[in-house]
Amino acid sequence: KLCEKVIIQHIQSIYSSHEIIGEESSGSNQYILTDKPTWVLDPIDGTTNFVHKLSLSCVIVAFVLNKEVCVGVVYDPISDEMFWAIKGRGAFLQRFASSSSGDDATSTTNNLPIPIHVSSTKSISKALIATDPGYSRDVTEVTEYLAVQRELLLRNVRNIRTIGSTGLNMAYVSCGRLDASFEEGSWETNRGPKIWDIAAGSLLVLEAGGVTRDLNQSALPTDVPLDLLQRSNFCAATTGLAEEIMDCIKSGRLSKNTQD
């Protein structure tokens, strides 16, 4: 709460009339997104990692106008990496800590921002995918999650990661470290990411050349982009990969329903 308070105070000192949607201040309530200038923030994304002293958490800030994300920032204070994007101007990575890596997605010169881009991966067999089971341990939802994982494995996914931070998942997709990331959820089941988890990342992925999809659509695969007011996350490097993964999710759901 203190971290969020510091960010809010700074924003309000400059933009006193702007709306703010924060994880700590909004809590479990269903928020309302208007056309007004709105800041959306998560002071610590990857809270469980943070509590357990795993070096995988970040600060997420997004600026939304007319319900569209105009600016997105994901900052990893541990690696000192800042992923950011401005609508129509591309996505970038700025690393302030020294690095000897020669990888374009992780190295910088004089701390200058470098353009980032998603990978060119088009098939599951070559994809590194991040998923997350969330916090629900309801038997029906666990069964559905495992059914989808089973489909991915049976279709020879290269590998699966559970990083535990939606912000980092989406940032890593935007720079090619991951090829896709998804997490299912809904308001009805009260599970899945919320707007402060996905707003900034959605812009990062799009500006880096990737795609987002709305898993709350009844028919999958779909080309409907991520809905900020829903409780799911899906992003991928390419349309082809997105369709393959969504077909796995569809099959997993059908498999779960058959078991029921």
**Which residues are catalytically annotated?**
23, 42, 44-45, 47, 197
Q: Which residues contact 210 (CB under 8 A, 6 or more apart)?
A: 118, 173, 174, 235, 236, 237, 238
Q: Which DSSP state fits 125?
A: G
Query: What region does 19 belong to: left with phi over 0, alpha with psi -120 to 50, or beta?
Result: beta
Q: Tell me the DSSP string of 218-238.
A: SSSS--PPP-TTSS-EEEESS
Amino acid identity for residue 105 in this structure: A
DSSP states of 126-152: G-EEEE---S---HHHHHHHHHHHHHH
Helix, strand or coil for residue 192? coil
CB 91 within 8 A of CB 200: no
Please report how many Cα atoms fall inside a 13 Å half-sphere around the Cα of residue 189, on the Cβ side: 20
Cβ count within 10 A of residue 135: 9
What type of residue sits at position 92?
F
Closest CA to 177 of 99, 240, 104: 104
